[in-house]
Structures are given as C-alpha cells and as structure tokens.
Amino acid sequence: MRLYIAEKPSMGAEIAKCLPGPSRRGDGFIETAGGTVTWGFGHILRQAEPQEYDDKYRIWRAEDLPIVPRKWKLLVDASCKKQFNIIKGLIDKADEIVHAGDPDREGQLLIDEVLDFVGNKKPVKRILLNALDEKSIKEANSSLRENKDFFNLKQSALARARADWLIGMNLSRAYTLAAQRAGHRNLVLPIGRVKTPTLALVVRREREIENFKPVDYYTIKAKFHHEKGDFFAVWNPKDIQAGLDSEGRLIDRQIAEAKLAEFMQAPNIGLLVDYTKSKKQEPQRLPFSLSSLQVLAGKRFGYAPQQVLDTAQKLYERKLTTYPRSDCEYLPTNQFKDSQAILKNLQSFGDERLAKWSAEADSSIKSRCWNDKKISAHHAIIPTRVPANADKLSDMERNIYFLVAQAYIAQFYPVHTYNQTKLSIEYKDEQFTASGRVELDLGWKELYTAHTRDKNEDINDGGENNEDEDSGALPPMKKKDEVEYVDGLMNQKATKPPTRFTPSSLLAAMKDIHKFVKDPEAKKKLKDVYGIGTEATRATIIDDLIRRRFMTQTGKKKYLQPTQSAYMLIDAMPDELSYPDFTASWEDRLHSMADGDGSLEDFLGEQVKLTTALCGKAYGASFQVPKTDESGETTHVCPRCHSGVLMKRKGKNGIFWGCSAFPRCRMTCNDKDGGPDLSESGKGVPFRAASAGRASIGELDNLFGNPYISEAEMQEFNQQYQLMDSFSAAYSGNISASDGRGTKKSSKWSGDKADASAAPMEKYAGNTTDHGEAGPKYLCPKCREGSLRQIQGKNGAFWGCSNYPRCTATFDDEKDMPVLNT
C-alpha cells in the first residue's frame, strides 16, 4: 500500500481526488485504488516545555539558566492524539510512504518529524505541490522525488525550531526575572529571536520621530537658455560653501539670497561641461513572493499582512492561485508552456483591465522570472490554469487575485525602455545639474501607470524627494555648448521626520533587513538574505506584538507606535537581541544549511554559547523602576541598589520591607506607618531593621517569591511562561549566617542591629566596607566580589558566596572556617 501523508485535510482531499478510483472515506483517511491518503493538522508533534524535561523548571529561577536539553523531546499534541494514532496505524500497514507536506522548510519538517517519531524504516518519496489543481497534482505525482534529497531542508527547519526554543524559553525567563527584580511583579517579557529585533525597529523609528527637529533649508533652481530650447537645472553647492549643514543643505537664507543675486549679475553665460544621453531598460517586475504581495496589498488596499496571507490561502485552496507561503519570486521554465492557457482564462475573469492586458500580452516573451536556478521547493505566486470568476470572489479575494494576475501578465510585456539625459553646467564657478528622461516604450509599466505606488517604492514610505530627479525631455545639446542664465528661483523647504511603520512597511523592513543592520560589513553580506522570520511567520509576529500590547495602531493607515512596555523591554536588551544583525546572519546560516552547507550540531552549539552569554547579561539588565505597583501604590526605589523597589513583607515577627532584587540586594528596613522606614537614609550607613521585622534569610527567600502564572495565561503566551515562585533553591534549608569573622550567629536581628547577611552587602577593599566599617574576612576567591558565608545544609555546614547565584563557589567547613585550599 502507498500512503500519502498531507500536511492538512484540504490538501489530502485534493490529492485523493486525483488518484485512481473508486475512493472510500474513512476516519481520518481516504482509501483509493492508487493509495491511501491521510493528513495532519499542522504540527501534530510539539516541542516539550522546560517543565516537561524536569519538573523543577516549573519555578523560574535565574540559577537554572540556560536550560539546554541533552536530548530534544517531542510530544504528541493533546488535540491531535487521535489523528496521530490513525497515521501511526497506517504507517505500520504501508509499503511505501509519500511525504506530502507543504513545499517549504516547515512543511518538510512537519511530516519528517512524525516519521522519525514512530521510527519509520519504510521507503519515503516526496511530492512537491505548488498548486492544487488536478493537472498540477497529477504532474507532481508522476515525478516523485526521494525524500532523502530533502534531508538538509529538514535539518535547517530543526535548527530554526531549536534555536528559537533556546532563545525564547531561556531569555524570556531571564529578562522576566530581571524585570521582576526591578519591581515589575506581574510583567512577563516574551523574548524572541525575530520578535525582539522587529519590535526594536518600531521603537527606534518612534524615537527618531520624537527627537526630530525640522531644519529649514534653501535650494536654487535656475532657468537656462540654449538655442535648442530652455530648461531648468539645480544649483549644487560646493562642500566648502558657507552656510551648509552636515548633510550638505544650505540653511542660511541670507547666503541663499546673496547667491541668487550673484547669479543674476552679468555676464550670464555658462558652459555645458558634461552632457550624456543613454538608452535605459528596466526589466519586468518579478511575480510575487508572499512578502512582496503583502507589502503591495498593504499600500494599495490597506490590507494587514495576515489578511493577505489568509486570503491567498483561500485562493490556493480554491485552486485559483499557487502555493502562498513562498519566499521565491521566480518560475520554473517547464511552466512557461501554461502561459497561453492562463492568459486566456484571465480574459474572462470579469475585470476589464485584466481582460485588456491579457488580450494584448505576447505569450512568446520570456522574462527574467523564468529561471530554474532560482527555484528550490516552491516558486512565485501566480494564477493557476483553473478559470476564476470575479463574481464568485469576495472583494478582498478579487483584489488579491487581481494583483497576482497583474504581475503575471506583466511578464509577457516588453521591457520598459527610455532615454535618460544628464547634464552639468559650470556657471560663475558653480555647478548646476539636470536630468531628464523620454519614454520610448512603457512596456510592462503600462499595467502600472495608474498606480504610483508599486514594488519599487521605498519601504519606509517617507523621506524627501530628490531635487535632481528626472524631469521631462531636455533640449538636444552637446558638450562645451554655451548656455545663458535667464532667471532663478529660491525655494524654502523643511526636512521631514521619518514616517512611522505600518504593518505592511514593517513586514517589508523584516524582508529587507539588511537596510537596518548595525554593522556596515554585515549590511553588505546580508543584502541577498531573505530577511528575518519566514514568509508564513512575519505577519503573525507583527500581530502578536500588537496583541500583547507592545505596539498600537493609530490612524486610518494603522501606523504602529510602541507602548511604554516596548520602550522598557528594548532599552534593557543587549545589542545581540535588539539589533537584527545576529538574527539576519542566522537566517543566512539556515538557508545555507538547507543547501547542505553547515551542520545542525555546529549551529546549535553556537546557539547554546550565545544563549548562555545572553542569560548572563540579563542578570545585570537595567529596567526602569515603576512609579506605582500593580495596586496603584507609590513604589519606593531601593536606596541601596537603585535597581529594585522596596516591598512590604510579613515575617514571623511582623512586617518589614525588603528589596525586590533579592538575593542580589539584601536591603531590609522596618515598616513605619505602612511605608519603609528610611530615617537613616541620609547618614550614609547601612539600613538597620528593628526587632519587629526579624526574619531569617530562608524567610526572605520565600517571601520575595512570585506566584505562578495561571494555566490560562501560560497558554496565552504559547510557551507556558511561568513566573519564578521563589529563590528558595539558592539558600534552601535551615540557614544560619556567619558574621564574616568565623563566628556563627542566628539569622535574626538583635536589638536594632541586623546581622551581616540580613543587612545590605557592602562592596569592600580588603577588610573594610565603603563606610569604613569592619568588613567580611573571607573574600570569595572565585569572583573576588562577594563574601563567604557559613550555611547549614542538609549534610552539615559549608560556605557559599554571597554573590550567589552569579557566583556558585562553595567550600567545606572546618571549625567554622572555610577550607580555601581545596
């Protein structure tokens, strides 16, 4: 028996229709004379959560990070158990299996991971379906490939999934804990390899706008006369011209007026020092990838990226267009033969423009899009050979189909040709320039003349017009001709701030991420990279940032603005997470891996090292302390560390206040009239706590913990994020502290003096504190920053560093002293 395993039920049903009959529908499969077809529901298997590797990870603790699985674990998703068992039973009965996942990296992994999970040893073929019409399916089924040919594609998908797990699971915990130590008790920060640098783009753009100061500047446009006609040219000031700003703009009005008057003075003869005329050709725009379709649909119709993807998916399932989640803008040469049939169908679609364009198209023209070398598992989005009827489509479906068809028809129009003329004039020892163009053949641009916003528009949708942009025709002239200055016009202009991102322009920025990388060398290298994220996930990432309230949409164009949480998050991130350089280079590596260059093990080894380093940076991350707590009460910034807030706690002996950054900061003080007693704050000495607030270090560990996030919220965050419950693991058991002089003391306050471990830790040099008081005797020999304290563990006394968990040094105890020579 041949078994086809499709990625989703709709694809499975279409495959079954194209197999020899008769057919019989069973529970989760379809039997035909040509084989049995079954299907999944996307990811039947999911990656295990940290707590599913070890129950201790239910509690979020900095000392557990990074969490790196020794053996990666997959689990059957609860909602897919029945279908998984059906697939497993059919695999057992099959003689041969046909992998029918979507023709991309993710689709390859979805089915492969199921086959690997059940330990399949039977032969596996691969069918690549870029369209679901009958002819396409039958052609693909007649040319099956060996699934092993796509091993590298699977490895690339595994590398992406596991790298995302390492970054997401570890750094979300690390930075959430850091935010909580700063007093953000109910804040969960979902850190993502793609999500975080994407949010940073919006934050930086908003700050550019906030800090923008408009600058007035002046330009001079001169009218010159030549015997063949008059024309205009723009004055280009020299670098040494007085009154220029750093961008070369003339900002001094008086100087501009003086130059204008100077230009009017006789003699008025200038010299044409350069005149070039050349014929230019602009090739047909390429058909669409998903991202390019989302960008143009956003600009043309205002559609959100997710709406475009959902609509393209519907058209694909109705067999009207090809596979939508494509990152490719080229077509295989073997599909060129279908062009006449597709163009004929478009004439009867029901749109006058498409009918006219397709009727006038030349199906013999073979544009640059037909290139087998540019094709991997999938190709550009185009209409299929199935006729479409505009009356049976929704408005959004009609518009998306129109864009896809328009780009396809453009391939069968001539290249756009024009003559471009550039000239340079020397007049009164100054340079004036002009350029002009004359259209020779609009070619494919004829289809786009009604729309000024096409694929070539700047993705930022902003900026200033070029003063020297092409105008109309210039008179025919030649080098060294004389021209006469006739008149001049001074224009006052003002610089404009950059425009805020919209969902579609942000998606375009993710695709063309090289424009936003920090390193100039990386910018060059990454120009040809596919961007950050995938065609299928970019829209989801943008929607997720909006849903989690890190961004809001404003105005009719839905401009994106960051929230206060976004500013706080990005400000706390290291460059590795907030700039796209690293993520873009990872995407480059993943694409190379899909081509067989690089191994999964090497890639993940590097990701573990990076994750470890970033977790270390998270411990020292600086978060803005909130002005009020979750109940609206004023917060009290810790006067010792200035990075945490003082929080009211109830110990065995009453109310006291302590720093939220515990155990890094052990600031404690009494309660006075419902607030922290900071009466000694101006004395420059450690704060003390009176007997009413007595608590042991063990109590502090537990009292400064956080509750679990609810199960519903864990599901909401998709990765079962949990807040730390306590720091109890750091100092578990019945703890006694040393006063630093080798004498054990109870961890309680005596009178109005706190012991060394309950009071804030002082930085010291030698044996004295910053305030000249007697300091701890035993400096930690490992970190040389903390002090060694005696701790009563389950197996007896030992000594540990006060800088735990940043420093995990421990030493044996001998006669109430640490053994330092072991």
Nearest to 314 by CA among 401, 386, 242, 233: 401
**Which residues are within 8 A (CB) of 250 and not within 5 positions of it... i.e. 6 or more apart?**
217, 218, 219, 237, 241, 243, 244, 256
Burial of 252 (0-12, 13-18, 19+ CB in 10 A): middle
In 3-state terms the chain splits into helix, strand, coil percentages (rounded to 5) of 35, 20, 45
CB atoms under 10 Å from CB of 69, counted, come to: 16
Burial of 279 (0-12, 13-18, 19+ CB in 10 A): exposed
Torsion, Cα 541 543 549 552, to 10 degrees, reads 120
Which neighbouring-strand residues pair with 100?
6
- Measured CA to CA, the distance from residue 600 to residue 237 in angstroms comes to 56
**DSSP β-ladder status, 559-562 and 551-554:** antiparallel
Structure tokens at 224: 């010159």
- Measured CA to CA, the distance from residue 667 to residue 657 in angstroms comes to 8
Structure tokens at 200: 């940073």
Nearest to 695 by CA among 726, 731, 668: 668
Q: Which is the catalytic residue, given 57, 218, 316, 323?
A: 323
Whose structure tokens read 């049976």? 392
Length of the chain: 822
Whether the bond between 805 and the residue before it is cis, its omega within 30 degrees of 0, is: yes
- Which helix H or strand E contains 273, and what residues bound it? strand 269-282
**Which residues are within 8 A (CB) of 116 and not within 5 positions of it... i.e. 6 or more apart?**
none
Burial of 493 (0-12, 13-18, 19+ CB in 10 A): middle
Torsion, Cα 497 502 506 507, to 10 degrees, reads -150
- Measured CA to CA, the distance from residue 382 to residue 372 in angstroms comes to 16
Amino acid sitting at position 481? D
- Check if the beta carbon of residue 243 is closer than 8 Å to that of residue 251: yes
CB atoms under 10 Å from CB of 44, counted, come to: 22
**DSSP line for 645-688:** EEEEEEETTEEEEEETTTTT---EEEEETTEE--TTGGGTS---
Cα angle 261-264-266, degrees, rounded to a multiple of 5: 125
Cα angle 690-694-695, degrees, rounded to a multiple of 5: 150
- Measured CA to CA, the distance from residue 540 to residue 546 in angstroms comes to 10
Torsion, Cα 563 568 571 573, to 10 degrees, reads -110
End-to-end CA distance of the chain: give it in Å, rounded.
67
Structure tokens at 550: 């890190």
Residue 323 designated active-site? yes
Structure tokens at 753: 């003096």
- Measured CA to CA, the distance from residue 282 to residue 381 in angstroms comes to 22
Rg (CA), the chain: 34
Phi, psi of 527 (to 5 degrees): -60, -35
Distances (CA, A) of 177 to 152, 197, 249, 624, 724: 37, 20, 48, 14, 7
Active-site residues, by number, are 323
